[in-house]
Amino acid sequence: MSEETVTVGDSQPDKRHQQEEVPSRGRWANNREFILTMAGEIVGLGNIWRFPYLCYKNGGGAFLIPYFFFLFFCGIPLFFLETALGQYTSEGGITAWQKICPMFEGVGIASQVMVTYGNIYYIVILAWGILYLISSFKSPVPWSTCENAWNTFNCHTRPSMYANPHLFNPNFNWSFLHNFTCFTVMIKNYLIHRVLQMSGDRFFGNLNWDLSLCLLLAWIICYFCIWKGVKSIGKVVHFTAIFPYLLLFILFVRGVTLPGAGEGIKYYFMPDISRIGDPHVWCDAVREVLFSYAVCHGVFTAMGSYNKYNNNCFRDCLALCCLNSATSIFAGFAVFSILGFMAHDLGARIEDVAVSGLGLAFIAFPKALTLLPVSSFWLVLFFLMILLLALDTHFVCVESLATAITDLFPHFLRRPGRREILVLVIAVVSFLLGLPFVTQNGILFFYIIDSYGSSSISLLFIAIFETVVIGWVYGADRFYDNIEDMIGYAPFRVLKYCWLFVTPLICGITLLYELATMQPYFPMTGYVLEPWGRGLAALFVLTPLICIPLFIFRSLCKNSKTMTTPSSDLRQAQPHKPVLTLCEYIVFKAQVQPKKNVERNNEKMEMEEPV
């Protein structure tokens, strides 16, 4: 009997000793590193090539009405929820949900599947940008002439009136060179036949070796940005998150001084209130908020997990939201001033030159900047900005995945040197899986995964579960108390009701509208997807979503009694308060932690230094 007592008594210190052996997680050196990293993630290519076009297409300044409505009642609540969740749990995108509610660990898994999609295909944009940047140093730039092997018979070189006024004499008939379509052919020839090297085959085709090398270079740069985790990221973002603003400001100043800039800005921001009645405009606004704020990917949970417990994450989130939306609006002035100049110089309509996405970055803008004097200088600035915007968005996503995996296996992956190996494995595997996107028909697969892998349907589905889990399962009041314990004061009470009712309702209605209006088409050409393409698209959409019911079923089979019980490691400042109340009515009663766990969590919190 005494021997058993000794054995049991000795086993407890051994368990505590094993837990203490787990190396601690890293922390941001200061709050500025966290702010810049988050800014680098949310301020990306979409601010340049998606928001301005959506604003122009959906009623100009009137589009800001649905945009800010969904930002206040959907974007900010989700953005703050994910960031606060990471800071409170000090866990990555998977284990944070595992600790909050084991039953819904699949929500974290689903978000990491979405991140994995992005890690594989998004960096291809960097590869294209690197190739364009290298070509921008040539004089003349290769897409400004029709004397290349890849040009088609209907390509005509057309000098710019603004850059070469001496070439244009009113007595000469140069009308064929003023043809907008002919001029557009030059840059399209370069993109389709030189960069993408598209073929008539239905499947991959041959590998583009120059793009493959650019993809490899992009992954090497990305790896060394994050190989030391938050220690290296915190230093890199001081350049990658700030310098693009300088480049954007330079392009803005140049753009607004060009002839035709005013007409472009007028088209961009002139309100058309009649468009507000179109449900598609409101759906575009929801999509823009979800994509622009990069919610439902678990990235902010991972980045927030490196904060100190007492960091004022609510203040940070509000500042970041203001920065992101202001950047989108400001970028629109820069973009449409230059598009207005191009329309003026070519004698075309704004409708003919205004495009979004890849068409803006790799066709419209290179075409417009080619018309300027010293065009190579402006092209280098533009593509450098594109590269930096894409780079910090991408490496933060890769870091999010590395954090999630590391937190799943902390005993093994937090050892010295092992994290670097993990990031290397992620980079190598993602590079290999990304090679199909740099084949001759890789653009087909790029658009499929971009349209369906990172679809708004998946994001809306995950957003509904995130808010329902926090609001109704874990308890909005309990989470609200956790936040107040962290930051020292209670944030806006409206957030509670957004998590409970408003945000899931908005996402649910939008999801139904998306499903009802979804069309199986290929965005670049408008062609309807073939059966294999539809199957691949369905696979991309369903893979992350199926994780949620699978883990719910797993929890039911494993231990149904504790599947909604939060981890005892989590600090509860007011454990005796109800977890959810509505109009002073107690919906769910308190779940009191054991006293020893409360004391342990209090000691852990006291070790944190307030920011």
Percent of the chain residues past pLDDT 90, beyond the cut:
68
Residue 5 above 90 pLDDT? no
Phi and psi, residue 439, nearest 5°: -90, 180
Q: Which helix (H) or strand (E) holds 588?
A: strand 585-588
Give residues with Cβ within 8 angstroms of 404, minimum separation 6. 92, 93, 94, 95, 108, 112, 115, 298, 302
Domain ranges of the chain: 31-580
2 in a labelled binding site: no
Helix, strand, coil shares of the chain as percentages rounded to 5?
70, 0, 25
pLDDT at 466: 97
Residue 389 marked as a ligand binder: yes
Tell me what pLDDT residue 601 has.
57
Closest alpha carbon to 110 in 301, 306, 292, 289 = 301
Residue 298 assigned as binding residue: no
For residue 8, pLDDT over 50 is answered with no
- The reply to whether omega before 520 is within 30° of 0 (cis) is no
Between 458 and 593, the more confident residue is: 458
Which pLDDT band holds residue 6 (cuts at 50, 70, 90)?
Answer: very low
8 A C-beta contact, residue 569 and residue 597:
yes
- Per the listing, tokens 């294999």 go with 532
CB neighbour class for 344 (10 Å; exposed up to 12, middle 13-18, buried from 19): buried
345 belongs to an annotated ligand binding site: no
- Taking phi over 0 as left and psi of -120 to 50 as alpha, with beta for the rest, 135 belongs to alpha
Neighbours of 539 (CB within 10 A): 12
Angular region, 475: left φ>0, alpha ψ -120 to 50, beta rest = left
Where residue 386 falls among pLDDT bands split at 50, 70, 90?
A: very high
Average pLDDT for 425-443:
95
Asked if residues 350 and 263 have their Cβ atoms less than 8 Å apart, the reply is yes
Query: Tens of pLDDT along 329-358?
Result: 999 999 999 999 999 988 888 888 888 888
Measure the CA–CA gap between 460 and 604, rounded to whole angstroms. 36
Residues with Cβ within 8 Å of 2's Cβ and at least 6 positions away in sequence, in order, are none
CATH of domain 31-580: 1.20.1740
The pLDDT-based confidence of 64 (bands split at 50, 70, 90) is very high
Q: Is the pLDDT of residue 169 over 80?
A: no
Least trusted range by pLDDT, from 28-42, 98-112, 195-209, 226-240 = 195-209
266 vs 184, residue with greater confidence = 266
Say yes or no to pLDDT of 558 above 90. Answer: no
Close Cβ partners of 431 (under 8 Å, ≥ 6 residues apart): 215, 216, 219
End-to-end alpha carbon distance in the chain: 52
Q: How confident is the model at residue 182 (pLDDT cuts 50, 70, 90)?
A: low
Integer Cα distance of 347 and 350 in angstroms: 10
pLDDT in tens, 258-302: 999 999 999 998 999 999 999 999 999 999 999 999 999 999 999
The average pLDDT across 91-110 equals 96
Q: How confident is the model at residue 203 (pLDDT cuts 50, 70, 90)?
A: confident
Structure tokens at 604: 């852990």
The C-alpha atoms of residue 179 and residue 123 are separated, in whole angstroms, by 35
Give me the sign of the Cα torsion angle 555, 117, 524, 275.
positive
Per-residue confidence band for 508, with pLDDT thresholds at 50, 70 and 90: very high
Is residue 272 a known part of a binding site? no
Q: Which residue reads 């449900």 in tokens? A: 279
**pLDDT of 559 above 90:** no
Taking the CA atoms of 462, 463, 467 and 472 in sequence, report the sign of the dihedral they define.
Answer: negative
CB of 316 closer than 8 Å to CB of 324: no
pLDDT at residue 532 greater than cutoff 90: no
pLDDT surpassing 50 at residue 90: yes
**Rounded mean pLDDT, 78-91:** 97
DSSP 316: H
Average pLDDT, the chain: 87
Please check if 47 is assigned to a binding site. Answer: yes
Alpha-carbon Rg of the chain, whole angstroms?
26
pLDDT of residue 605: 53
Tokens of 109: 């898994």
Whether residue 177 is predicted with pLDDT greater than 60 in this model: the reply is no
Q: pTM here? A: 0.90
Helix locations, 293-413, DSSP H: 299-304, 313-346, 350-353, 358-359, 365-370, 375-408, 410-413
**569 in a known ligand binding site:** no
Burial of 14 (0-12, 13-18, 19+ CB in 10 A): exposed
Among 599, 582, 163, smallest CA distance to 367 is for 163
Considering only residues 184 and 555, tell me which one the structure prediction assigns the higher pLDDT.
Answer: 555
